[in-house]
Amino acid sequence: RQSIQIAPSVLAADFARLGEQVAEAEAAGAELIHIDVMDGRFVPNLSMGPVVVEALRRVTSLPLEAHLMILEPERYVSDFAAAGASCILVHPEATPNVHRALQLIREHGLKAGLVLNPGTPLTYFENLLPEIEQALLMTVNPGFGGQALIPSSLERLERLRALRNRLNPTCPIEVDGGVNTETALELVRRGADILVAGSAVFKGEVARNIQALRESYGA
Ligand code: DX5
Ligand code: ZN
């Protein structure tokens, strides 16, 4: 397998200097940028939309992935595609038609990603792994940065890795929530290929933080 990738989540960045912060992350070797989209309905919080993707598309060459924490995410697939997202991640808890949403994402020429909340059965991956290019496991309840990783996520991650190896061996597994220098090694051991990290990257000095995160899992 290729080496572990870091996806800084801009939710934890300083929004007054977002472009600069993303450029710092890119210069420090981050492999992709994670953009958390919240509607105040699927999750209690509000965050950002396609305009932020469009703005960041102009300041970085890294792939931009949109994590849609919104009801009926299929309504916004074409907007995020037009804004320059490279991957759109959708939750089955947010739509009665998640298969159709994934299909729509691929029709727009983007990578389709499926995300599950901590309380959602992994069965969704059993059914949908063959249809996706990225599998994201929430390791906190979505809605806010800076939460502690839910310990039972580790066992779910191992089960997801087994499913992935059987059903779609080239599909990377990503984890989101509570990733930091204390938890990264265990997550990598259990099967994470991509680490989303918000607070652990943007609180403090970005380059130093990314370096520390890599060192914590021996990269
Ligand atoms: C939570 C978001 C995460 C969040 C992670 O709803 O999906 O991407 O930014 O933040 P940290 O890394 O601080 O737990
Ligand atoms: Zn996220």
pLDDT digits (tens, 9 = 90+) for 59-89: 999 999 999 999 999 999 999 999 999 999 9
What is the structure's pLDDT at 2? 59
Cβ 77 vs Cβ 108: under 8 Å? yes
Mutation pick for ligand 1 pocket among 39, 144, 179, 210 (CB with most ligand atoms within 8 Å): 144
Phi-psi region of 54 (alpha: psi -120 to 50; beta: other; left: phi over 0): alpha
User: Three-state SS for 88?
Assistant: strand
- pLDDT in the model for residue 177: 99
Once rounded to an integer, what is the mean pLDDT over residues 5-34? 98
The residue-averaged pLDDT of 32-46 equals 98
Digit-coded pLDDT (tens) for 183-214: 999 999 999 999 999 999 999 999 999 999 99
What is the sign of the dihedral through the CA atoms of 11, 91, 99 and 128?
positive
The number of folded domains in the chain is 1
For the chain, state the CA radius of gyration. Answer: 16
* 65 within ligand 1 shell (Cβ under 6 A): no
- Domain coverage including residue 153: 5-216
Q: Is 39 a catalytic residue?
A: no
How close is the Cα of 144 to the center of ligand 1, in Å?
Answer: 6
By the 8 A CB rule, do 49 and 72 touch? Answer: no
Active site residue 14: no
pLDDT of residue 1: 46
Q: Which ligand is nearest to the CA of 45?
A: 1
> What's the mean per-residue pLDDT of the chain?
98
CATH number for 182: 3.20.20.70
- Across-strand partners of 5? 194
* Cβ–Cβ under 8 Å, residues 105 and 90: yes
Q: Is the overall model pTM greater than 0.95, yes or no?
A: yes
